[in-house]
Amino acid sequence: MNFFTTAAGNYDRHIGRYGPVLAPELIAAADVRPGEHVLDVGCGPGALTTALLKLGAVVTAVDPSEPFVTACTERNPAAKVRQAAAEDLPFEADRFDATLAQLVVNFMQDAPTGLAEMARVTRPGGVVAAAVWDYADGMTILRKFWDAARTIDPDAGDESQMRYCTPDTLADLWSSVLDDVQVTEATVRASYTGFEDLWAPLESGVAPSGAFTVALDEERRAALKREFRARLGVGDDPFELSARAWLATGRT
Ligand SMILES: C[S@@+](CC[C@H](N)C(=O)[O-])C[C@H]1O[C@@H](n2cnc3c(N)ncnc32)[C@H](O)[C@@H]1O
């Protein structure tokens, strides 16, 4: 199931707020240089693609979500954007200097195959890198969301149960395919005009948190909203939230 088939604007207002500030961290960890040919896997509406173009990289991007491919294309006319999944990349071997995936690995149907494909299309000695959220702790909005969700439904599917969201599980996955593996961390921030600004995109069903929200009846949705707001400790005034990501890098 792809949780990202909604209009790009809904994603922009939810997790998309963090993409433009996370992208430079991932690019720095991967040591991408101007002029390099880079593939952005699971590009979404294009935050990482935009940052790579700004650096002076030559960018190709793929995503299985049609509305996201359209948005990434419109926002990044200088990039070549195609509809494709990580597990079956439509490129010849050794084509790119670096292949990056920002907040995508846990959404792949088959992450080991996706990573093997990312390595296949990267030249020998090139970098394969990814960022994933620290869902268990440092990613504030999602941590508080799932803590609140479990008060509504004890079986709520907490994203911290995703397979590759700790430094150890990421390092094991990367080491199964790549050399010189490192896992580092980056903490970024996003700002909100108030709680309603944060809540609104969830009502579109975007991402696992939005899908959980829209599946609730009106009463339980209102209870979730109250609990989430209380756990965040925010109100109608502007605030910022921090989010920690793990960054995995390795060489082919
Ligand atoms: C959390 S979003 C991240 C989007 C973007 N990289 C960013 O940083 O904002 C996850 C993305 O992974 C994409 N995705 C889902 N399954 C995928 C797969 N099998 N291969 C590649 N991308 C996938 C979704 O369509 C979505 O755009």
Residues 152-204 have pLDDT tens digits of 999 888 888 889 999 999 999 999 999 999 999 999 999 999 999 999 999 99
Is residue 102 within 8 A of residue 132, CB to CB? The reply is no
Q: Which of 107, 113, 132 for a ligand 1 pocket mutation test, highest count of atoms within 8 Å of Cβ? A: 107
The residue-averaged pLDDT of 24-47 equals 98
Best of 43, 49, 63 to mutate for ligand 1, by most ligand atoms within 8 A of CB? 63
Closest Cα partner for 28 from 185, 191, 137?
Answer: 185
Q: Which domains does the chain have, with CATH numbers?
A: 8-135+159-190+243-251 (3.40.50.150)
pLDDT score of 106: 95
Reported as a single tens digit per residue, the pLDDT across 22-34 is 999 999 999 999 9
Cα separation values, 104 from 109, 132, 231, 232, Å: 10, 7, 27, 25
Coil, strand or helix at 155: coil
Q: Which atom of ligand 1 is nearest to the CA of 108?
A: 19
Amino acid present at 138: G
CB 244 within 8 A of CB 142: no
Task: Calculate how far, in angstroms, residue 222's C-alpha sits from the geometric centre of ligand 1.
Answer: 29
**Atom in ligand 1 nearest the alpha carbon of residue 42:** 22
What is the predicted pLDDT for the residue at 31? 98
Residue nearest ligand 1's atom 22 by CA:
42
Contact in structure between 83 and 69 (CB atoms under 8 Å): yes
pTM of the model: 0.96
What mean pLDDT is predicted for residues 110-136? 97
How, if at all, do strands 96-102 and 122-133 pair?
parallel
Listing DSSP states for 38-99 in one string gives EEEET-TTSHHHHHHHHHT-EEEEEES-HHHHHHHHHH-TTSEEEE--GGG--S-TT-EEEE
| CA 103 / ligand 1 centre spacing (Å) | 7
Instruction: Report how far residue 134's alpha carbon sits from residue 164's, in angstroms, rounded to the nearest whole number.
Output: 10
**Is the pLDDT at 125 greater than 90, yes or no?**
yes
Confidence (pLDDT) at 6? 83
What is the rounded distance in angstroms from the CA atom of residue 200 to the CA atom of residue 184?
32
Per the prediction, the chain carries an average pLDDT of 96
Determine phi and psi for 28, rounding to 5 degrees.
-65, -40
Q: What is the pLDDT of residues 49-100, one digit of tens each?
A: 999 999 999 999 999 999 999 999 999 999 999 999 999 999 999 999 999 9
> What is the three-class DSSP state of 206?
coil
